[in-house]
Amino acid sequence: MLILDQEYGIGQLSGIAEKLSEYVKSHDLFTFEGELGAGKTTLVKALCACLGVRDKVSSPTYSLVNQYQASHHGDHFPVYHIDLYRLDSEEEAFHAGINEILSSKGLCLVEWPQRLPEIINGRRLEIHLTATEGELRRIRVYSREN
């Protein structure tokens, strides 16, 4: 089900993150799809700031997973920022502990889920980002279950 479709600029990023944060209680998996430079990590950083993460949020391209602690509306929970870009198989994800993290308690923010769609299961917020004119981005957000 499509829940958000709009174009935005960098000045609207915190508002977009605030809208996404409304789904944290109903979805514990957010996926971020888009080409290189589409703004996936930038949006994850804005969302983490909105969720009260105090740690420095950075791309987990080489570490595969970064863990943060969120404090949002009185709730405290772990946030797992996962980047699947460098993984080529479900077996690699298993050995890296990704499957275990995806089934743990906490919020999982997954960049490049299209690299390993077989490990992305259940209820999720699917976020598609596209670079448009100049510095603008288009965001399409779907609530999915499989």
Q: Dump pLDDT digits (tens) for 58-78.
A: 888 888 999 999 999 889 999
Furthest C-alpha separation in the chain: 40
Domain of residue 39 covers 27-117
**Assigned domain for 71 exists:** yes
**Assigned domain for 131 exists:** no
Q: How far is CA 40 from CA 16, 34, 110, 139, in A?
A: 12, 7, 9, 10
Rg for the chain (alpha carbons), in Å? 14
**Assigned domain for 8 exists:** no
Q: How many domains does the chain have?
A: 1
**Assigned domain for 66 exists:** yes
**Assigned domain for 16 exists:** no
pLDDT at 23: 95
**Assigned domain for 137 exists:** no
* pTM for the model: 0.94
Residue 89 belongs to a domain with what CATH number? 3.40.50.300
CA distance 88 to 98: 13
